[in-house]
Structure 1
Amino acid sequence: MSNKERSLFSKLVGSLILLLLPVLILSIYSNRVNENLITGQIKQSSISRLSTLATQMDNIIMQLETFTYILIRDPNVIEFQDLSLLNSSYYEQISKKKIIQDKLYLQSASTEWINEVTVYSPRSGQTISTIHGTSFDPERLQRLSKENWNFILHDDKTDKQGKVIHLTAEPYDAGGGIAKANSIIEISFDMSNVIRMLDKFKSQGVGEALFYKPNDTFLSTSSFPPVLLREAVSALKKTQLADEGDITLNVNGVSYLLSYSDVQVLDGYVVNMVPLSEILTPLRMTNRFAYLVLGLLLIVGIVVSWLLYRNVQVPLRALVRGVQQIKMGQYKTRISLQVKNEFRLIISRFNEMSDQIQQLIENVLEQQLLTHEAELKQLQSQINPHFLYNSLSYVISMTKLNRKDAVLQMAYHLSDYYRYTTRVEKQLVTLADELKNAADYLSIHQMRMNRIRYRIDVENVMMDIEVPRLILQPIVENALIHGVEALEDDGIVTITGSCTGNEYSLIIDDNGGSMTFERLHDLQKQLISRHGERSEACGLLNVHRRLQLRYGVDSGVRLSINAVSGLRVELHWTEKAVDDEAVNRG
């Protein structure tokens, strides 16, 4: 390997490293951003869900608490304070207690959580409750009055699941203790209600859920692993908790996210424990796979760099040099490099392409444009000047005979005809204009020779298409001069037109009766050879070449003998994308 080759190979390897290094840096940065983004989204989603859960719990508990405030002001409850002291019959007392108890049962069944309600009358020591066997216990009520909501895990008045109890007393500021209150409302609900909400929360998301109260009270989902629960409670105890937030916890090498949101009424927090490591593991595995792929790409790139230089760089450099020379106009450029790989075919095709470009640009295209321009200008110079002399002679004769109407008609036709034929600024016209010019030309001959007849039958959908100027007049002139002019009987020229899709056809028939197969073959031969030796073939050839230049080599003039042995000329073409500017330059 020469020093130059070694230098080029080193450049290729260095370029590969420089290419992969930013990718590696971006991958590392992107992975970290993605991890932070996913973690942030998990935090945001978890706190949002916890806030919703806390709001739901607050609403339910506030509903229960509000009921006690309403109930304690109920006239029946107020009357119950001194019911036993009033001079009422036993039946009346039972009826009034029954009214209050019905209200308690109705409230107990009207909320989402299962709850129990008890009304105490400290003066009489009587109770009305949805719990059977409830009695007035001043000491117990005094303990419960110290907290807004009391979490009782083991109470002789409740089952082993534990209850959450709230007391409402009237008057609200009972300075003399709970025994001085006129009425006391106790409302409680099972802790299983909170656990059910936590289980429902867990089923709708990821991780475990628990309710935590700073005084060592906590409730968790039924599936919360004990080890994780202890670690979560311990971490919450060690943290100064705000209204909402999150804590990152590591247990046995696994990272967990503790998100929390406060439940204001219960003075506690709902907590969601999400295993971050499990969520981020697929992303981290993808990242490691990406790093492995980058390493393999570097190794493979070094091997391929050498192969690229030996088998691609040299022939590619020759191709690039050749393309640059073609771009600068050196169309004679050829690549002489001999290779034995796939570039041999490419180099061969490049040389063939150069030959074709040189031929098209230097010869064919230039010759076609020049020929096109000359042929377009040739048509108007071939119009017979004797036609004008004969028409003027007709005008003079009709004037002498005082045939004013004939003179006017001839003047109108001549005016329209020469206005059209001398208008050279526009090379494309509508077929309707072209048919009008042919009709003017035929009308002039019809006025000069009464035995001339003509008929034009062209589909209306063809009238607005654009065609080259003066493609009909030379054909009609041939039909008159070489077809029907020598007839003793009526001479008839027919023009018909039809189209199928984007294919169009105009047919000009005459009844001259003198067309033979030898003469037809001679005319067809002159069209193919592009040399019109006879005046009759000159106009046909002119129209034939213009149609080919405009619409392609498949378009042009077709010749045949019609049923009355006259000449049938068919102009056929297909509309397609054409360089109109190149055509109009003629």
Structure 2
Amino acid sequence: MESVLTWRKSIFTRLMLTFALIVSPLFLAAFFIYNWGIGSVKEELERSMRSQVGFFVSNYNTEVQRINALLYNTLYDSNLTDLANRVSELSDYDLYRSVNSLQQRLLVLENSNLYVKNATAYIPSADMFVTSNGGLEKVDEEALAFFNSASTDSKAQLLQFRGDFYLRALLPLDVRYRMEKKVHLLTATLSIERIRTSLGQMDVRPGGGTSLLLPDQSLVSQPGADEALAAAFGSALKSRPDLSGSGTLTFRHEGRNYFAVYESSSYLGATLAVYVREEALTEKADRIQRLFLLFSLAAGLIVLVSMLSAFKFVQQPMLRLIRALRQMEKGNLNVEITHRREDEYGFVFTRFNGMVRNLNQLIDQAYKQQILTQQAELKQLQSQINPHFLYNTYFVLYNLAMSEDYDNVKQFTRQLGAYFQFITRNAADDVPLRAEADHARTYCEIQSLRFWNRLTVDFKELPASCADLLVPRLILQPILENAFEHGLADKKADGRLSVEFLLSEIGLEIVVEDNGPLLADSDVARLNERLTSEAPASETTAILNIHRRLRLKFGEASGLIFRHGREGGLQVRIVICSIEEGKGEADNETDADRGR
């Protein structure tokens, strides 16, 4: 087992080679056959769609050309020219006969083509226009001005006016000349409904449709078309940078992909398109799909056999390894895995068993080392009683005695006794937060007497729900000491220090804030960076010691956070993310200590 396993003993190699040799040819054959069939069906359907679209575009061009030819033939009709040029010379009878003959000619033009619903002759010189449906009426000046001056890119002179589409025939004269000389012209109104009906005659698969994009970018679809689908297709079609000639496009609507074939008519200035769901491209591939299904079933059976083999040689040992790892997750480090075969799992299980044994030894050593280190750091912190603090407190006591302020002498000596009792005792590493807060309050009261003319301390009440929370000893007093020595040391008057306890969703925050000199952003950032530095034990400061002990007890989200104070100075937040952990374990002992 100590030697490296050769490939001949590798389960993975044997299984993968066997699987690849058996399954790969089947899947490759099925894949190529299926894709060849689908590709052929798609090409056939696309050719059919292109042919159909091309036929209808050609038909529309032919019909519109016929309409335009009839319009221009009518433009030179003798009855129209008589009405346009000799109306004042005609008798009432001749006028009636000319109008009647012209209307019959327009009616023939209307009936000669499916897409024309009305034909109109504008005769501004006689202040009249004649329609195939309504006869003689007075000239519509707005319509006359539009048809005389409107321009279009459509060679067929296809125009939109008042919601309808028109073909016009006019003499090739200047617009101003036509308006001033009141030159006559003809228009043919196209029936959008008949165009829709003709679009409906195209062979459209279920779920698809046909649409005609006109020169004004309006979209005409077959009767009963899905308007939302047609609008989505229209947006996709209009987004094409170039619609000249013919082409294909794909678009998406309501989670489905669609395929479209379009062809543009330079004569009409319009684009005709047919679109279908992409699934429709493969509807005729049923035989190929069945063949592919058979191949897939055969491959599935082969895979099943391979998986049964893999279960015996791979999965069962893997399950044993997983169960052992889960036992380790629950804290059971006395697990051991046995394996009889000389393969990869035998090598892994042997190393796993050795790893568990080594892990047990390392955890035991690390745990003991951690306990010893924490105790040593706490001892070191307790021994760091500032000599200046001791001298100054005795000096304050001396002054109080000299001034015969015996009440404050009693109070001050009681506070000093409580302070040194708490900081020097070694009964427990964890204390209730109530005791820690009382010690910090005592320390602040001592400092208030020392600096009574320079600063004030606002120490808020501790919430009753947090009083029994067990916390590491001396997490608050060193922070207050830093505030007095560094933040408020240069304050000659109006120094303020506040301590408050805030409950939040994550737990408890103890906020210590002074109004000392304003720190730069870089200084605050540097303080926060020091908390995450990997300083050796010999260089661990009291603040870093507090931060580490809080994280060890309450989790990685707990610890210290430095911020700018609200009135200048520095704000230190002591974050404790759990206020339910470890309540009451040291209560009896602490109560006894308070009674000493």
Which TM-score band (shorter chain)?
Answer: 0.3 to 0.5
Asked which structure has the greater CA Rg, the reply is 1
TM normalised by structure 1 equals: 0.44
Q: Which has the higher contact order (CA 8 A, sep 6+)?
A: 2
